[in-house]
Amino acid sequence: MTTSAEEQSAQGRTRMQAVVATAYGSPDVLHVDEVAKPVPDDDEVLIRIRATIVGPPDSAAREGKPFIIRFFSGVRRPNSVPGDVFAGEIEAIGRNVVRFAPGDAVFGTAAPGSGAHAEYLCLPEDGTIAVMPSNLDYNEAAAICDGGLTAIAFLKAHAHIREGESILINGASGSVGTAAVQLAREFGATVTGVCSTNNVELVQSLGADTVLDYTRTDFTKTGEKYDI
């Protein structure tokens, strides 16, 4: 595989552009700066970031609120480069890495404030990283991570969803809700989604068995019971 002169130059760089925060506060604490380009350890991959997002966890990490966040991101000041969700391509791998190869298109997430708002990011091979589906572009792949990972964590780790169960998803048209509807159907559950009038067709198209328009129906008063 040949590489362009620009890509060859990027691979030889030791510095990169990144969003940097040196204090907690409003978005005004963020600025673009030049920082050291990370180098992967033996069990890590170096990812060239092509797309990322700014979500609620990023805002909370930037503000340091609630205070408990600071025990993970820094008590007095945050990790210098924010961002957790990403999509990009593997540029280099450590000597022990076998799951990925340079050139692989990948997407995933790290801990909030782990440095995804930069040109490059190093993560362990066994981190939350996967090869991108071929029918997604980088922007779409990054967007999926935002709600999808939250939804699957709840459904699997907390709700312990099983085939044949019934589930009510309130807010079924949001980033978490749209992912939850599709995942719950994939797990074999019977799905009831709650949303506004404008999003009824959307939630139906995602596979919900029943859709309740909360402007017309109060799901707390229908008498229906759900496993989840």
Boundary residue ending a domain (110, 141, 172)? 141
Boundary residue ending a domain (111, 141, 171)? 141
Q: What is the pLDDT of residues 122-167, one digit of tens each?
A: 999 999 899 999 999 999 999 888 888 889 989 999 999 999 999 9
* Domain that includes residue 72, residue range: 5-141
pLDDT band at 8 (very low <50, low <70, confident <90, very high): very low
pLDDT score recorded for residue 176: 93
Q: Is the pTM of this model over 0.85?
A: no
Task: Please report whether residue 153 resides in a domain.
Answer: no
Boundary residue ending a domain (141, 171, 202)? 141
What's the rounded Cα separation, in Å, for the pair 188 and 25?
44
Q: What is the pLDDT of residues 10-67, one digit of tens each?
A: 566 899 999 998 888 889 999 999 999 999 999 999 999 999 999 888 888 888 788 8
Radius of gyration of the chain (CA): 20
Same-domain check for residues 170 and 134: no
Q: Environment class of residue 195 by beta-carbon count within 10 Å: exposed (0-12), middle (13-18) or buried (19+)?
A: buried
Same-domain check for residues 28 and 98: yes
Q: Which residue has the tokens 């966040």?
A: 69
| Tally of structural domains, the chain | 2
Same-domain check for residues 48 and 76: yes
